[in-house]
Structure 1
Amino acid sequence: MEYVDVSKYDNKLGRKHQVVRLLWTIVWGVFARPLPRSVGSGWKRFLLRAFGAKIDKTAVVYSSAIIYYPANLIMEEYSCISAKVYCYNVDLVRLGANSTVSQGAYLCTASHDITNPLHPLKTAPIIIQDQAWVATDAFIGMNVTIGQGAVVGARSAVFKDVDSWDVVGGNPAKFLKKRIIKE
């Protein structure tokens, strides 16, 4: 068995990234987190934009959500990041129009290369297309696209792309049925 010495790990994100993260954590914690749920959406959008997010004037981010790095966040019209969502966006997270990420979901754009003894960071984006819904407590891994109109069921773990208008569930998430909108 080969010995792994993680003491030699080098955080490739750099000092600037760490400083921005520290400032962002303080700003969100003091000026947004104390607000009730979706109150003050305009103010929260302003704070996110000040740190580089591209966020539509109709998008909603709940106060208890954790956005790791706003500059890697794009939210289109009427998209929503709900309560207690952890958006670990070391890489890009894009929410399409009318998409929702529900309570407690975890969006994870980074991991480590386990084949390398130094475990270097690796990242890839998450794309959630228009009209998609990521339900409560779901986990979405890096390099995943949730297709237009797709639904990721509660407590699901998604590691592969989800086709448009599919409903998936489980761990790992599997196809359950097609989503059909009834008028």
Structure 2
Amino acid sequence: MHRWRVFLLKLFGAKIHTTAHVYSSVKIWYPANLIMDEHACLAPYVNCYNMNIIHIGEKAIVSQYATLCGGTHDIRDPKFQLITKPIIIEKGAWVAANAFIGPGVTMAEYSVVGACGVVFKNTVPNGIYVGNPAQFVKMREFKND
């Protein structure tokens, strides 16, 4: 049913490639702010709180129960004004299970945030991050087959 969900999301303004995978339990706040490239994936129970643009790059994966949150509030303002910023998950990046990606974050190509990680700053290409707040631990290395 992925193609059906892609079709429906496009009807509501999403810019989504036909090969993208969006599972039925994903919550998308505003489809018109969603961009998904080829083979991008929003896994089961992802919360895509896209008050601003969220762009999921080619072959990027957002795993189950992860949250992409494009908004916050200015706690210094007595009116508690809403602040929205885009989130970009670049090509081949992986947001592992239960991770949280905050407003304005760019996850660089092939970077990884481990399970339950909380990211509020941009990552570096191929960087692996874990913890709350997520900290860089090492570079991602690929097998040469």
TM-score > 0.5 by shorter chain: yes
CA distance in 1 between partners of 2:141 and 2:62 (Å): 20
Deviation digits for residues 93-138 of structure 1 (CA, Å, limit 9, x no counterpart) = 0001000000000000001111110101110000000000000000
Deviation digits for residues 127-183 of structure 1 (CA, Å, limit 9, x no counterpart) = 000000000000000000000000110000000001110000000000011001102
Deviation digits for residues 9-47 of structure 1 (CA, Å, limit 9, x no counterpart) = xxxxxxxxxxxxxxxxxxxxxxxxxxxxxxx01110011
Q: Cα RMSD (Å) of the superposition?
A: 0.4
Aligned to 2:68: 107
Max radius of gyration: which structure?
Answer: 1
TM-score normalised by L of structure 1: 0.78
2:28 alignment partner, one of 54, 67, 80 = 67
Secondary structure, in 3 states, of the residue corresponding to 2:68?
A: strand
1:162 alignment partner, one of 110, 116, 123 = 123
Answer yes or no: is 1:55 the counterpart of 2:52: no
CA distance in 1 between partners of 2:127 and 2:118 (Å): 15
Answer yes or no: is 1:139 the counterpart of 2:139: no
Q: After TM superposition, what 4+ stretches of structure 1 lie above 6 angstroms from structure 2?
A: none
1:79 alignment partner, one of 40, 48, 72 = 40
Structure with more helix by fraction: 1
Secondary structure, in 3 states, of the residue corresponding to 2:4?
A: helix
2:109 alignment partner, one of 148, 169, 180 = 148
Secondary structure, in 3 states, of the residue corresponding to 1:163?
A: coil
Structure with more strand by fraction: 2
Gaps of at least 5 residues in structure 1 are: 1-39
TM-score normalised by L of structure 2: 0.98
CA distance in 2 between partners of 1:94 and 1:176 (Å): 25
CA distance in 1 between partners of 2:142 and 2:94 (Å): 13
Percent identity over the alignment?
Answer: 49
1:124 alignment partner, one of 85, 90, 93 = 85
